[in-house]
């Protein structure tokens, strides 16, 4: 019989597995804590479990972390990880250090099916969805490998790596529940952000979840014509539907939706675009902030990075219309770890 990988199992599943092994389900809570909070790599480390249960777990289950194939370190301290998940294939995750926090950029899929024209991951197409344990495993690898770098800084998680998180809805949400559980990995849910290209029905489904991350929407255009040319998903879920779903998103008093806006030189970066973007946000009375992301040029895609003056003028226009806005710093650009650059190497991609 193949081994059952317990990495990614939530507590009810662990209770079922322990019962199937002929032991009391109460031990599942101990196993859950060992796997996620204490990050045990073997069942023999779980010293408060009965020896017979440990032996049965050893014989029938595994704790299969993603295998670390390579780490690239950027000049700014960003680290890009090439990982081999338990189910095979290769995926990338990114560690981003900042003065007051650490950010993990995790991937919910190998590749992506949405074919956004400005994103390198889109060039791969979709290889497969990742299981919950393969997503959680990325975070555990980054925690383990960067323990000294993290020290006591808080860790943020962004589901902004390879793939569309809401296209792999169930596994992504299971991973988020484990990551945010105080008995699990213990990253507060307010520090976890899910980014989507705009799957409006899934946004509405996510809004009803009892454990709900913060929402970031990759908007990138202010008209359906331009957005559909950049993001084919817009033909199924146009801007009006997307903004309506965002308007219904429940927000705490201090929470805002983030609209990510990749600025493409001469495509979506005019003063008229800025005014339309402000109008979209204000017309729907959204508590929102805009994150401007200058395109990372120089890698073969047919777009240009806008001049710094254009980015600054766009930001100023949004501010003048009462929209909160920031410009994302390009981190890890020299190792192709910045926004939209996760695409594996040419040789790695060819193996999928």
Assess whether 54 and 136 both reside in one domain: no
Residue 339 has a pLDDT of 56
Alpha helices in 27-83 (DSSP H): 27-32, 51-60
Report pLDDT digits (tens) over 141-195. 999 999 999 999 999 999 999 999 999 999 999 999 999 999 999 999 999 999 9
Q: Residue 265 — very low, low, confident or very high, per pLDDT cuts 50/70/90? A: very high
Residue with tokens 């996620």: 36
Q: How far apart are CA 292 and CA 220, in angstroms?
A: 9
What's 117-161 look like in SS3? Answer: CCCCHHHHCEEEECCHHHHHHHHHHHHHHCHHHHCCCCEEEEECC
Residue 301 has a pLDDT of 87
Gyration radius of the chain's alpha carbons: 21
Assess whether 19 and 108 both reside in one domain: no
Q: How far apart are CA 352 and CA 348, in angstroms?
A: 7
Q: How far apart are CA 207 and CA 221, in angstroms?
A: 24
* Residues annotated as catalytic (active site), given as ranges: 92, 339
Residue 338 has pLDDT above 80, yes or no: no
Report pLDDT digits (tens) over 103-152. 999 999 999 999 999 988 888 899 999 999 999 999 999 999 999 999 99
Residue 348 has a pLDDT of 45
Full residue range of the structural domain in which residue 9 is found: 4-62
Assess whether 126 and 18 both reside in one domain: no
- For residue 42, the domain's CATH number is 1.10.150.530
Q: Are 136 and 179 in contact (CB under 8 A)?
A: yes
Instruction: Please list the helix, strand and coil fractions of the chain in percent, rounded to the nearest 5, in that order.
Output: 40, 20, 40
Report pLDDT digits (tens) over 49-71. 999 999 999 999 999 999 999 99
Q: How far apart are CA 118 and CA 112, in angstroms?
A: 13
Domain boundary among the residues 42, 62, 82 is at 62
Residue 211 burial (CB count, 10 A): 14
Assess whether 263 and 138 both reside in one domain: yes
**Which class for 10: exposed (0-12), middle (13-18), buried (19 or more C-beta within 10 A)?**
middle
The percentage of residues in the chain with a pLDDT greater than 70, rounded to a whole number, is 93
Residue 316 has pLDDT above 60, yes or no: yes
Assess whether 27 and 124 both reside in one domain: no
Residue 336 has a pLDDT of 55
- Give the predicted TM-score (pTM) of the model: 0.93
Q: Residue 351 — very low, low, confident or very high, per pLDDT cuts 50/70/90? A: very low
Residue 55 burial (CB count, 10 A): 14
β-strand 102-105 against 91-97: which pairing, if any?
A: antiparallel
Assess whether 113 and 137 both reside in one domain: yes
Assess whether 71 and 16 both reside in one domain: no
* DSSP element (H, E) containing 94: strand 91-97
Q: How far apart are CA 63 and CA 49, in angstroms?
A: 16
Assess whether 133 and 168 both reside in one domain: yes
Assess whether 266 and 120 both reside in one domain: yes
Assess whether 36 and 150 both reside in one domain: no
Residue with tokens 């990338």: 92
Assess whether 184 and 309 both reside in one domain: yes
Count of structural domains within the chain: 2
Q: Are 93 and 161 in contact (CB under 8 A)?
A: yes
- For residue 272, the domain's CATH number is 3.20.20.70
Assess whether 195 and 333 both reside in one domain: yes
Domain boundary among the residues 43, 62, 81 is at 62
Residue 210 has a pLDDT of 96
Q: How far apart are CA 65 and CA 280, in angstroms?
A: 43
């Amino acid at each position: 019989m193949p081994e059952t990988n317990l990495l990614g199992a939530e507590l009810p599943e662990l209770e079922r597995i322990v019962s199937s092994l002929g032991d009391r389900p109460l031990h599942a809570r101990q196993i859950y804590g060992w796997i996620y909070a204490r990050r045990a790599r073997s069942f023999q480390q779980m010293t408060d479990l009965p020896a017979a249960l440990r032996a049965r777990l050893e014989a029938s289950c595994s704790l299969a972390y993603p295998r670390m194939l390579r780490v690239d370190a950027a000049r700014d301290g960003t680290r890009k990880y090439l990982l081999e998940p338990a189910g095979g294939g290769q995926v990338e995750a990114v560690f981003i250090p900042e003065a007051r926090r650490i950010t993990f950029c995790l991937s919910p899929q190998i590749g992506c099916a949405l074919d956004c024209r400005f994103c390198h991951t889109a060039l791969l197409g979709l290889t497969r969805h990742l299981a919950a344990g393969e997503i959680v495993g990325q975070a555990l690898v980054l925690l383990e490998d960067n323990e000294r770098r993290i020290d006591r800084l808080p860790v943020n998680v962004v589901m902004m790596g390879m793939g569309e998180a809401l296209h792999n809805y169930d596994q992504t949400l299971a991973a988020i529940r484990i990551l945010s559980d105080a008995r699990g990995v213990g990253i507060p849910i307010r520090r976890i952000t899910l980014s989507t290209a705009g799957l409006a029905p899934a946004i509405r489904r996510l809004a009803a979840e009892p454990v709900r991350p913060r929402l970031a929407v990759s908007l990138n255009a202010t008209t359906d014509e331009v957005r559909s040319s950049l993001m084919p998903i817009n033909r199924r879920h146009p801007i009006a539907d997307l903004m309506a779903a965002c308007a219904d998103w429940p927000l705490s008093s201090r929470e805002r939706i983030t609209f990510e806006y990749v600025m493409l030189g001469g495509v979506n970066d005019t003063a008229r675009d800025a005014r339309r973007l402000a109008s979209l946000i204000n017309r729907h009375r959204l508590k929102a902030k805009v994150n401007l992301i200058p395109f990372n040029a120089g890698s073969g895609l047919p777009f240009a990075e806008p001049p710094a003056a254009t980015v600054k003028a766009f930001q100023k226009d949004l501010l003048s219309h009462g929209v909160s806005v920031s410009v994302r710093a390009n981190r890890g650009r020299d190792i192709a770890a910045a926004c939209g650059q996760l695409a594996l190497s040419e040789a790695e991609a060819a193996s999928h």
